[in-house]
Amino acid sequence: MGDNQQDKMSRRALPVAAAQEKVISFCGKLTSEFVSLSEAKGRVLAETVKAPHPYPHFRRSGMDGYAIISSDTAGCSAQTPVHLEVIDEIPCGSLPSVALVPGTAARIMTGAKVPDEADAVVMFEMTEATDGESGYYVKLKREIAAGANITPVGLELAEGDVILEAGQIISAGEISVLATFGISEVAVIRKPRVAVMATGSELLAVDEPLQDGRIRNSNTYMLESQIRDAGAEPIILNVIADDLSTARSRVLEAIEEYDLVISTGGVSVGDFDIMADLVLGDEMEMLFNKVMMRPGSVTTAAVRLGKLLFALSGNPGACFVGFELFVRPAIARMMGIEQPFLKEVEAILAADYPKINAYTRFVRGRIAVEGARLRAYPAALDESSVMITIKDSNALLVIPPTTEGVQAGELIKVLLLPGVAG
């Protein structure tokens, strides 16, 4: 026990940013696949999409009214109105049925194609319909400028304009734009397959009866949800009891099979830390086994076959933070997202945070907007509520190393947690 303990005690801690950098350097973009628009939500575009045609692709009426030849309204006023014969009626989706000539107009709906001969649309509410000798007339009482209420071809986008960039996450707006251009199937990065294995003979399955001295395996379910939220496909493997040779073979198999492997549990500085021993073996290249952060300082990452293994803490709070700081960005980068880290903003600390720490502390909490100012509330100040506060957080407050704590009112950095209802 002595020597091994010594090795683990002498872990060299990396700053968080350096550890993140190391992880990201091993994340290659995965291959792509085609999905239908209905399945595209939440996926990441594999290729930049350009407009296959101009938009709008025909001269579009911006109003319900009458398509006219604007020169017919020269000198028109309330005193000297102009009457145009209505010779066509153009609903949306229909084409003009007859060519306009001077002195005529076409009733037209919003969004319908303007006849080629017309150069203006006059709003319905500005007109009066009158019955004349030979048909139905529209009475105009002012001059109409050429171009009025007509959206020209390509006003929004020309053919070939970029409409969406590779690496974009697809949500409702992107789907609307893709559908507008008739793109019914879209190339997206395939979902990373992420395996989760818990280690620790203290773990009970969630549906097992409670036993004295043992706790339920909650991290696996939490990670499953976080993995799905990050856009990847979770695969839950069996719990590994505290046995180094079993753990070694199970981990090596998982690395062969999946794109990324996470273990949870077994990284405290104790006698039964399987994963810590494993990453020190010959099969893997260890990237780091200690990070200058709380919680989760013993977060470990290693590489084999170009694939990442993360050993996250068994403590639920530390496991959650380790996932958000390291695993989520790795998944994001594998999906081709350029900026893969949690979004960082500044906020005003809303309550004193008296704890001192030599490492940066990532404190779960809530952000709230009050009079356009962002305020950050730590979820709890004492370790005791570690488990229950996971559910109440929408942000990680970044408390820098401090020997005196941080006062309410100070500006701090905050990492926003995606996928959590605000």
Which structure tokens are listed for 310? 């993360």
Select the residue interacting with its own copies from 85, 143, 224, 283 (CB under 8 A).
224
Indicate the residue among 55 and 359 with the shorter CB distance to its own copies.
Answer: 55
Shortest Å, Cβ 313 to its own copies:
10
Select the residue interacting with its own copies from 87, 106, 144, 183 (CB under 8 A).
183
Alpha carbon distance 393, 401 (integer Å): 22
By CB under 8 A, the residues from 320 to 359 that bind its own copies are: 320, 343, 345-348
The amino acid sitting at 386 is V
Which structure tokens are listed for 300? 């470990």
Nearest residue to 78 (alpha-carbon basis) of 138, 143, 125, 133: 143
Indicate the residue among 60 and 307 with the shorter CB distance to its own copies.
Answer: 60
By CB under 8 A, the residues from 10 to 29 that bind its own copies are: none
Kindly determine how many residues on this chain lie close enough to bind its own copies according to the rule CB under 8 A.
109
Helix count (H) and strand count (E) of the chain?
Answer: 8, 26
Shortest Å, Cβ 371 to its own copies:
6
Q: How many CB atoms lie within 10 A of CB 393?
A: 21
By CB under 8 A, the residues from 275 to 304 that bind its own copies are: none
Indicate the residue among 70 and 180 with the shorter CB distance to its own copies.
Answer: 180
Select the residue interacting with its own copies from 79, 80, 134, 384 (CB under 8 A).
384
Cβ neighbours for 181, distance < 8 A, ≥ 6 positions apart: 49, 51, 52, 53, 55, 163
Q: Are 392 and 420 in contact (CB under 8 A)?
A: no
Select the residue interacting with its own copies from 23, 27, 86, 112 (CB under 8 A).
112
Q: Are 63 and 114 in contact (CB under 8 A)?
A: no
Shortest Å, Cβ 270 to its own copies:
4
By CB under 8 A, the residues from 51 to 80 that bind its own copies are: 53, 55-58, 62, 64
Nearest residue to 109 (alpha-carbon basis) of 89, 136, 129: 89
Stretch that binds its own copies, among 16-24, 196-204, 277-285, 289-297 (CB under 8 A): 196-204
- Sign of the Cα pseudo-torsion (331, 334, 337, 338, in order): positive
Q: Is 246 in the site for its own copies (CB under 8 A)?
A: no
Select the residue interacting with its own copies from 4, 176, 238, 407 (CB under 8 A).
176
Shortest Å, Cβ 79 to its own copies:
26
Shortest Å, Cβ 232 to its own copies:
13
Q: How many CB atoms lie within 10 A of CB 360?
A: 18
Q: Is 391 in the site for its own copies (CB under 8 A)?
A: yes
Indicate the burial class of 126 (C-beta count within 10 angstroms; 0-12, 13-18, 19 or more).
Answer: middle
Stretch that binds its own copies, among 67-75, 263-271, 283-291, 399-407 (CB under 8 A): 263-271
Shortest Å, Cβ 249 to its own copies:
21
Shortest Å, Cβ 201 to its own copies:
5
Q: Is 167 in the site for its own copies (CB under 8 A)?
A: no
Shortest Å, Cβ 37 to its own copies:
5
Q: Is 95 in the site for its own copies (CB under 8 A)?
A: yes
DSSP state of 213: T
Which structure tokens are listed for 237? 């493997």
Q: Is 81 in the site for its own copies (CB under 8 A)?
A: no
Q: Is 242 in the site for its own copies (CB under 8 A)?
A: yes
DSSP state of 112: P
Indicate the residue among 133 and 212 with the shorter CB distance to its own copies.
Answer: 212
User: What are the backbone dihedrals phi and psi of residue 234, each rounded to the nearest 5 degrees, phi first?
Assistant: -85, 140
Shortest Å, Cβ 75 to its own copies:
29
Nearest residue to 199 (alpha-carbon basis) of 238, 225, 233: 238
Stretch that binds its own copies, among 152-160, 280-288, 302-310, 399-407 (CB under 8 A): 152-160
Cα 286 vs. chain centroid, distance in angstroms? Answer: 30
Stretch that binds its own copies, among 14-22, 24-32, 212-220, 252-260 (CB under 8 A): 212-220
Select the residue interacting with its own copies from 91, 102, 306, 354 (CB under 8 A).
91
Alpha carbon distance 107, 121 (integer Å): 9
Q: Are 261 and 292 in contact (CB under 8 A)?
A: no
Alpha carbon distance 121, 110 (integer Å): 10
